[in-house]
């Protein structure tokens, strides 16, 4: 058993079973036995099971949201997470029949051969998820994998395991689903054991762990899809709608208390509108409240992971010591034993500060003026990360021209952090923010099957056969 900390009280109040390598192997063995029958089901039957799962999650939405709220210490996002996960399942129900329709055979350019395209699902998809959105990031890859015909094992974060029991009770009610969708709880060693048992791996988490998972997957020799961290930049041009940009960026940087991968972490503002923007942003941010003592009030939840608390404190202290000023917020405070980052706007920042270069998983937005587009683009790209970003300009061509120069997978224009909201836009991470196929949009499904081709000879002797073929054996 592993004790789990409650982010609202700081106390360990939950014990989580830890699956060792043998137990993970046993789960994988059972799923590998069940997977061929799941893949052989007509697509409509697999989708019917997933439709039942979505309905069952709706029926138990309160219990599920309560468990996620206990994991994360926040209510509004937990309710949205359940709704978002149900939405993800239902989108696949709509899209999968078109995407997985049998492809018509066609005549090859090799004239006497017909190609009959096939798809073969991987056996076991291993999914490793982080703590910042425990349910949705466990299911976002699990659902298309199940649609494609894989069996799925999920290892959620050890920081947020409380939702698992509720979800497993829901899954247990769906005919056939428990034999192809299982959870194994534990920390890093359980994750490594899962990679060793997987035929395809989807990992969401930090760059540091992602790199280890990638190396291990290479050793096991299975494909791996990595969705990692970011240091997303916003660029606010002189011709931006300033109140709108301020409102969008307050949400984009402080939503989920800044604990999402595509959170805006740096804001570059054209010098001529810098003062107006900063005033508008501070007005937005200063009004945000912690969800404390009432979990249902306010907008900003606690720092979920104990590991992050000293990192956020270090980033703030480093920035303030090097001359940054907090126009609102500026510290991590203790409320009831939990750690809460005050919604913070920093100015007088430089690229010598950790808050401008390292991932800050908290409600902190440093703002810096720029002089021209080249400078803003160079600064935005001056990072090893390349997850997403945003540009604000009322001249859409101007915004597009800047967006095209940004080295990141998803660029929101005149809005912030849209990646998490828009599921149908294929995108890949740039640089160290990830590796592998698109999680979003139609290509997402392709990660879970291999293409196989039947190459059918129409009866014509192939011209490359040995000239003597057909003669009696010598
Ligand atoms: P983390 O890398 O510490 O852990 C992620 C998962 O990996 C956990 O389940 C953990 O138990 C597991 N793990 C740890 N060591 C392992 C190992 N050696 N082998 C296999 N699995 C192992 O990340 P975290 O702190 O839980 O999450 C925060 C990070 O996730 C941030 O960097 C954030 O940006 C990133 N993130 C990315 C996305 C995205 O879509 N790109 C989404 C959400 C979060």
Helical axes 61-72 vs 76-99, angle rounded to 10°: 120
Q: Are 254 and 282 in contact (CB under 8 A)?
A: no
Query: What span, in angstroms and rounded, lies between the C-alpha atoms of 389 and 412?
Result: 6
CA of 205 to the centre of ligand 1 (A): 2
Query: From the alpha carbon of 230, which atom of ligand 1 is closest?
Result: 34
Question: How many Cα atoms are found within 13 Å in the side-chain-facing hemisphere of 457?
Answer: 7
Q: Are 360 and 339 in contact (CB under 8 A)?
A: no
Query: What span, in angstroms and rounded, lies between the C-alpha atoms of 419 and 434?
Result: 14
Which overall architecture, per CATH, does domain 2-101+114-227 show? Answer: 3-Layer(aba) Sandwich (3.40)
Residue 155, ligand 1, Cβ within 6 A: yes
Name every residue whose Cβ is closer than 8 Å to that of residue 207 and which is 6 or more positions away in sequence. 228, 229, 384, 385, 432, 433
Residue 131, ligand 1, Cβ within 6 A: yes
Of these residues, 202, 237, 261, 267, which one is catalytic? 261
Regarding the domain with residue range 232-420, which homologous superfamily does it belong to in the CATH classification? Answer: Aldehyde Dehydrogenase; Chain A, domain 2 (3.40.309.10)
User: What are the structural domain ranges in the chain?
Assistant: 2-101+114-227, 232-420
Name every residue whose Cβ is closer than 8 Å to that of residue 184 and which is 6 or more positions away in sequence. 19, 23, 24, 27, 153, 154, 155, 190, 193, 194
DSSP 8-state code for residue 300: B
Q: What is the DSSP string of 388-440?
A: EEEEE-SSHHHHHHHHHH--SSEEEESSS-GGGT-TT------GGGEESS-SS
DSSP 8-state code for residue 132: S
Q: According to the model, what pLDDT value does residue 469 have?
A: 56
- pTM (global) more than 0.75: yes
Q: According to the model, what pLDDT value does residue 474 have?
A: 45
Q: According to the model, what pLDDT value does residue 243 have?
A: 98
The protein residue with its alpha carbon nearest to ligand 1, atom 34, reads 229
DSSP 3-state of 122? coil
Query: From the alpha carbon of 429, which atom of ligand 1 is closest?
Result: 41
CA of 93 to the centre of ligand 1 (A): 28
Name every residue whose Cβ is closer than 8 Å to that of residue 273 and which is 6 or more positions away in sequence. 236, 238, 240, 242
How many residues can be counted in the chain?
474
**φ/ψ bin of 257: left (φ > 0), alpha (ψ from -120 to 50), beta (otherwise):** left
CA of 210 to the centre of ligand 1 (A): 7
Residue 261 bears catalytic tag: yes
Residue 209, ligand 1, Cβ within 6 A: yes
Per-residue pLDDT tens over the stretch 94-144: 999 999 998 999 999 999 999 999 999 999 999 999 999 999 999 999 999
Query: What span, in angstroms and rounded, lies between the C-alpha atoms of 312 and 332?
Result: 8
Residue 284 bears catalytic tag: no
Joined together, the tokens standing for residue 418 give: 């849209």
Average pLDDT, 10 consecutive residues per value, the chain (474 residues) = 95 95 98 98 98 98 98 97 97 95 94 96 98 98 98 98 98 97 98 98 98 98 97 98 98 97 96 98 97 96 97 98 98 97 98 98 98 98 97 98 98 94 92 96 94 96 83 50
What's the Rg (C-alpha) of the chain? 25
Q: According to the model, what pLDDT value does residue 468 have?
A: 73
**φ/ψ bin of 120: left (φ > 0), alpha (ψ from -120 to 50), beta (otherwise):** beta
DSSP 3-state of 374? helix
Name every residue whose Cβ is closer than 8 Å to that of residue 417 and which is 6 or more positions away in sequence. 232, 251, 252, 255, 260, 262, 263, 264, 388, 390
Q: According to the model, what pLDDT value does residue 471 have?
A: 56
Residue 199, ligand 1, Cβ within 6 A: no
For ligand 1, mutation pick of 156, 209, 307, 418 (most atoms within 8 Å of CB): 209
Q: According to the model, what pLDDT value does residue 467 have?
A: 83
Residue 236, ligand 1, Cβ within 6 A: no
Residue 204, ligand 1, Cβ within 6 A: yes
């Amino acid at each position: 058993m592993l004790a789990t900390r409650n982010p609202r009280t700081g106390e360990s109040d939950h014990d989580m079973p830890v699956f060792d390598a043998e137990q993970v192997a046993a789960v994988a063995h059972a799923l590998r036995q069940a997977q061929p029958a799941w893949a052989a089901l007509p697509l409509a039957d697999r989708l019917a099971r997933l439709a039942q799962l979505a309905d069952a999650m709706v029926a138990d939405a309160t219990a599920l949201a309560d468990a996620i709220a206990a994991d994360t210490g926040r209510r509004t996002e937990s309710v949205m997470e359940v709704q978002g996960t149900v939405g993800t399942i239902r989108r696949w129900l709509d899209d999968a029949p078109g995407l997985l329709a049998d492809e018509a055979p066609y005549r090859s350019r090799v004239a006497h051969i017909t190609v009959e395209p096939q798809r073969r699902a991987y056996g076991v998809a291993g999914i490793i998820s982080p703590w910042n959105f425990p349910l949705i990031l466990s299911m976002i890859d699990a659902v298309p994998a199940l649609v494609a015909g894989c069996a799925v094992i999920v290892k959620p974060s050890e920081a947020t395991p409380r939702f698992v029991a509720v979800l497993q009770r829901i899954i247990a009610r769906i005919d056939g689903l428990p034999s192809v969708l299982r959870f194994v709880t534990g920390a890093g060693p359980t994750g490594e054991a899962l990679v060793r048992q997987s035929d395809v791996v989807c990992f969401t988490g930090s760059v540091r762990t992602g790199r280890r998972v990638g190396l291990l997957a290479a050793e096991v020799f299975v494909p791996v899809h990595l969705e990692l961290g970011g240091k997303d930049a916003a660029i606010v041009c002189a011709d931006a709608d300033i109140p709108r940009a301020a409102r969008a960026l307050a949400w984009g940087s402080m939503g989920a208390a800044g604990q999402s991968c595509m959170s805006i972490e740096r804001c570059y503002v054209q010098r001529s509108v810098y003062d107006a923007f900063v005033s508008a942003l501070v007005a937005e941010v200063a009004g945000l409240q912690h969800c404390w003592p009432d979990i249902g009030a306010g907008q900003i939840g606690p720092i979920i992971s104990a590991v992050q608390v000293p990192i956020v404190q270090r980033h703030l202290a480093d920035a303030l010591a090097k001359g940054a000023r907090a126009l609102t917020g500026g510290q991590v405070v203790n409320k009831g034993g939990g750690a809460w980052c005050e919604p913070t706007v920093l100015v007088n920042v430089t690229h010598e500060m950790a808050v401008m270069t390292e991932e800050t998983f908290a409600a902190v937005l440093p703002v810096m003026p720029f002089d021209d587009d080249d400078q803003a683009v160079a600064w935005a790209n001056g990072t090893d990360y390349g997850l997403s970003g945003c540009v604000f300009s009322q001249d859409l061509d101007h915004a597009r021209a800047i967006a095209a120069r940004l080295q990141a997978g998803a660029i929101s224009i005149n809005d912030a952090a849209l990646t998490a909201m828009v599921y149908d836009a294929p995108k890949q991470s740039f640089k160290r923010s990830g590796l592998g196929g698109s999680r979003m949009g139609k290509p997402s499904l392709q990660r879970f099957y291999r293409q196989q081709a039947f190459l059918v000879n129409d009866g014509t002797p192939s011209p490359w056969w040995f000239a003597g073929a057909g003669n009696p054996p010598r």
